[in-house]
């Protein structure tokens, strides 16, 4: 069964059709830069043009950087505040004429990783962190997702944590890998003071082996520390996978 997956991020909107039985993309993904300001209307226009590009008329799953309940955004980070209170599922369905399921982007990526990647078969408490423009989090207990956690948003050293330790901050502040890893260590230690975690999976661009080899050995966690396997496809795959569950069952 194929479903279209879209991952709306602070810097890029990525999408591709996905075989939701295997978790594989069935065509090369397309990335369109996120419009400045990322208002609901502008993002909807990009989403429509992406579906038209692929000639896609079936169901769509979409991850957005917001707390999402029943298709509605309850927060907004790295996208316009005007998302708050907007029913993204309704907006995208109306704009495109296709049925939509909406989920938090980190929850989407983590669901993909738990089903098809590094988290497959893991029990206990598993935390996935997506390190990119922000820090996304997804928490599982025995494979059940506790949705909409926002562990990128606690306070660390006088800043919102993701403004201190995200990959964007590493680039913007021109931090070397040791300095950034020290910040990530503080971040992880803080989380481990609050939660008893069995496995932490690090995802996002920095989970590529060519990057993770620069900092992984500098991190020390009580939990087993893994890197994601699906990398920049996880958000697309998880969004599509979610739409399968929401749409096929209704």
Where along the sequence are the contacts to ligand BGC (CB under 6 A)? 65-66, 77-78, 104-106, 130, 134, 136, 150, 152-153, 162
Residue 113 or 162 having the CB closest to ligand BGC: 162
What is the torsional sign of CA 141, 242, 28, 23? positive
Q: How far is the CB of 163 from ligand BGC (least distance, A)?
A: 9
Q: How far is the CB of 228 from ligand BGC (least distance, A)?
A: 13
Residue 8 or 226 having the CB closest to ligand BGC: 8
Pairing of strands 60-64, 2-8: parallel
For tokens 């009580």, the residue is 222
Residue 8 or 122 having the CB closest to ligand BGC: 8
Q: How far is the CB of 110 from ligand BGC (least distance, A)?
A: 10
Residue 78 or 199 having the CB closest to ligand BGC: 78
Q: Both tokens of residue 215?
A: 């900092």
Q: How far is the CB of 168 from ligand BGC (least distance, A)?
A: 10
In degrees rounded to 5, what are phi and psi of residue 101?
-120, 135
104 membership: H or E segment, kind and range: strand 100-104
168 membership: H or E segment, kind and range: helix 167-172
């Amino acid at each position: 069964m194929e479903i279209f997956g879209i991952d709306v991020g602070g810097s890029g909107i990525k999408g591709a059709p996905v075989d939701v039985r295997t978790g594989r993309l069935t065509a090369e993904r397309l990335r369109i830069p996120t419009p400045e300001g990322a208002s609901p209307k502008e993002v909807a226009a990009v989403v429509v043009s992406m579906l038209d590009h692929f000639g896609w008329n079936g169901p769509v799953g979409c991850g957005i950087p917001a707390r999402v309940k029943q298709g509605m955004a309850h927060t907004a980070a790295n996208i316009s505040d005007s998302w708050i209170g907007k029913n993204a599922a309704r907006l995208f369905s109306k704009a495109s004429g296709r049925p939509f399921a909406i989920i938090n982007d980190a929850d989407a990526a983590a669901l993909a990783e738990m089903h098809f990647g590094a988290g497959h078969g893991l029990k206990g408490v598993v935390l996935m962190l997506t390190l990119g423009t922000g820090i996304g989090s997804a928490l599982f207990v025995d494979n059940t997702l506790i949705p909409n956690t926002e562990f990128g948003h606690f306070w660390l050293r006088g800043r919102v944590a993701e403004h201190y330790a995200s990959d964007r901050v590493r680039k913007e502040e021109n931090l070397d890998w040791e300095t950034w890893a020290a910040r990530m260590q503080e971040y992880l230690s803080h989380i481990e003071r609050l939660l008893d975690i069995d496995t932490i999976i690090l995802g996002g661009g920095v989970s590529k082996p060519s990057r993770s080899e620069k900092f992984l050995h500098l991190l020390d966690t009580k939990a087993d520390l893994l890197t994601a396997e699906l990398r920049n496809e996880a958000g697309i795959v998880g969004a599509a996978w979610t739409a399968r569950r929401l749409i096929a069952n209704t």
